[in-house]
Structure 1
Amino acid sequence: MTTLGAVFVPQLPPERLRSVVRAADESGLEELWLWEDCFLESGVATAAAALAWSERVRIAVGLLPVPFRNVAVTAMELATLYRLFPGRAIIGVGHGVQDWMAQVGARAESPITLLREYVTALRGLLAGERITVDGRYVHLDGVALDWPPSGAPVYVGATGQRTLRLAGELADGTILTGGTGVEAVRAARQRIDEGRQAAGRTDPHPVVVYLHAATGDDAEARMAAERVRWGYHDGQDVTVAGDAHAVADAVARWADAGADTVVLQPTPDDPDPEGFMRFVAERVRPLVA
């Protein structure tokens, strides 16, 4: 069955998060996704608050930019979340937006090398291993967590072919950005599977994709403005606007292309973010196989 989620977009102020989390949790939404976008809101701080304010909804962060964060700090933060809220947190990591990384003096000359070193070390630390590594970017000298978690999925956000293969090889799941069309999902799934095959992996590997979605009386107008903001060309099939049936039909197409989880991404100017969570859980979810 396709998992259905929704995004709390960080263009909303942090103080709005609590009511959106409550709406997601009470309506039965499966997953609420958060972003760590520069320079809006922290992924870990918002995830911790959302987990504490809720009882059952899974809280996911997609994603933490690895140039921003020492891998040992990330491992400590993730282990704490996974132990405090077992089975309810999903954390993704990735390259980050390179222009933003340059702004903070953290841009890597070889993002793919950094991500490989980082994910390898992060997964080892979360598995309770003592890690010593002297890589191009990651340097650890006998580092081990005192409180490693039991079960700690690490997803990787990916767009390019090399990163998609790396995600299949090293990660527990892959996150595809909004603007990924149906055919691009199929192609990404193939690249991910190539990485999994090369690594001899046969464990499940969920593929998550964001899908721009809007509903309500002004949905078409808001989505048209959103398409301009993201630079999508006319005819590019990467958004949906309409009622629950229209949104569910779009979710089904992305799921048929290979997405295990479809996360509906509202427009930043959605007039009712809490209502959007209820719409996804109560009206779209029953229509999705």
Structure 2
Amino acid sequence: MSSLGIIFQPSSPPERLRAAAVAAEEAGLDELWVWEDCFKESGIASLVAALAATERLRVGVGILPMPLRNVALLAMELATIDRLFPGRGRFGVGHGVQSWMGQTGTRVASPLTLLREYVPALRRLLAGDEVTASGRYVSLDRVRLDWPPAAPTRILAAAEGPKTTALVGEVADGIVLTGGWSAGMVRDSVARATRARADAGADGAFEVAVFLLADFGDGAHERMEAEFDRWRFTGERRYAAVGSVDDVAATVRDVFAAGATSVLLQSRMGDDDVEGFARNAGRVREVLGVSASSRP
């Protein structure tokens, strides 16, 4: 499965989200993803608003910071969303930005331990199991959802470093790679996660969602250089899809070839023409001919 979408960044005001979601659907895109950055917009509220504003668009959230969210509460939220909008929600969790977690008093000493405890517990709750756990961070006593999803719900997790990437391969249904990952870096991460998954004996398809910086038209290269500086990206991380629709499509094709199953185009921060960006992304999709149903 391969699909193409865009990202609605929380640097845009929340009242722009519904129009962005409708524009993404009208452009023929497969997905729209939202973020939960502190202290901007709720990932869950944004996800539900975008789903309610559209009919077929899949909407993802990447990422929901695990330290901020009790695993039982998140399971309740995701199960409710999945029953209201079957198969259209896409859910990603992660460590969260450590400085933000510190500001909220939720920073943990071992993010890897939290990931190892949290994701399996969340997946089991969403599967309808009764879960008892007594870990360093996840503590549950015979918790079972009354209304679990009617079909399996896939949980993706974000990763950057090699240890987290390998652990995500072991415990999650897929990985989220945020902006600034070249096709080569994507390929390396996929290989590391896949090896760890095989070593752990995990089965089932493994998804790879990649956030790819993009800009269209004249001056795109110069504008993107400034965007790289804004994100403090250096070296191989100064990677983006820029230029004409065909140019952007060529870079997206490289990222798919590196192992991505979903590519989410990310506009420059502060680019207010969200609808125009969605239309251009739709033209990229037409060039590539990718969709959730047309590719293996």
Separation of aligned partners in 1, 2:123 and 2:65: 16
Separation of aligned partners in 1, 2:104 and 2:46: 21
Q: Return the offset for 1:239.
A: 1.3
Q: Return the offset for 1:236.
A: 4.9
Separation of aligned partners in 2, 1:227 and 1:237: 6
Separation of aligned partners in 1, 2:30 and 2:174: 17
Partner of 2:123: 123
Separation of aligned partners in 2, 1:285 and 1:272: 19
| 1:197-246 superposed Cα distances (whole Å, 9 cap, x missing partner) | 02222311111111100113443343122111011236755112211001
**Matches for 1:35-54 after TM superposition, within 5 Å:** 35-54=35-54
Stretch moving more, 231-240 or 219-228: 231-240
Q: Return the offset for 1:177.
A: 1.1
2:253 aligned with 1:220: no
Partner of 1:277: 278
What is the SS of the residue equivalent to 1:156?
strand
Partner of 1:154: 155
Partner of 2:192: 191
Q: Is the 8 A contact 1:2 1:288 kept in 2?
A: no
Partner of 1:266: 267
Stretch moving more, 37-46 or 252-261: 252-261
Q: Return the offset for 1:287.
A: 1.6
Cα RMSD between the aligned structures?
Answer: 1.4
Change (3 A) 1:83 1:117: same
Q: Is the 8 A contact 1:27 1:278 kept in 2?
A: yes
Q: Which amino acid aligns with 1:110?
A: S
Q: Is the 8 A contact 1:168 1:196 kept in 2?
A: yes
Could you tell me which runs of 5 or more consecutive residues in structure 1 were left unpaired when the two chains were aligned: none
Q: Which amino acid aligns with 1:189?
A: V
Stretch moving more, 194-203 or 20-29: 194-203
What is the SS of the residue equivalent to 1:142?
strand
Q: Which amino acid aligns with 1:252?
A: R
Q: Is the 8 A contact 1:252 1:288 kept in 2?
A: yes
| 1:14-33 superposed Cα distances (whole Å, 9 cap, x missing partner) | 00101101111122110001
Partner of 1:25: 25
Could you tell me which runs of 5 or more consecutive residues in structure 2 were left unpaired when the two chains were aligned: 290-296
Q: Which amino acid aligns with 1:186?
A: R
Aligned residues: 288
Q: Is the 8 A contact 2:169 2:175 kept in 1?
A: yes
Separation of aligned partners in 2, 1:109 and 1:234: 30
**Matches for 1:192-211 after TM superposition, within 5 Å:** 192-211=193-212
Partner of 1:104: 104
Separation of aligned partners in 1, 2:271 and 2:128: 43
Partner of 2:11: 11
| 1:48-87 superposed Cα distances (whole Å, 9 cap, x missing partner) | 1110010011000011000001000100000000110001
Q: Is the 8 A contact 1:5 1:31 kept in 2?
A: yes
How many percent identity over aligned positions?
51
Stretch moving more, 32-41 or 189-198: 189-198
Q: Return the offset for 1:154.
A: 0.5
| 1:254-278 superposed Cα distances (whole Å, 9 cap, x missing partner) | 1111112111100122241111111
Q: Is the 8 A contact 1:183 1:257 kept in 2?
A: yes
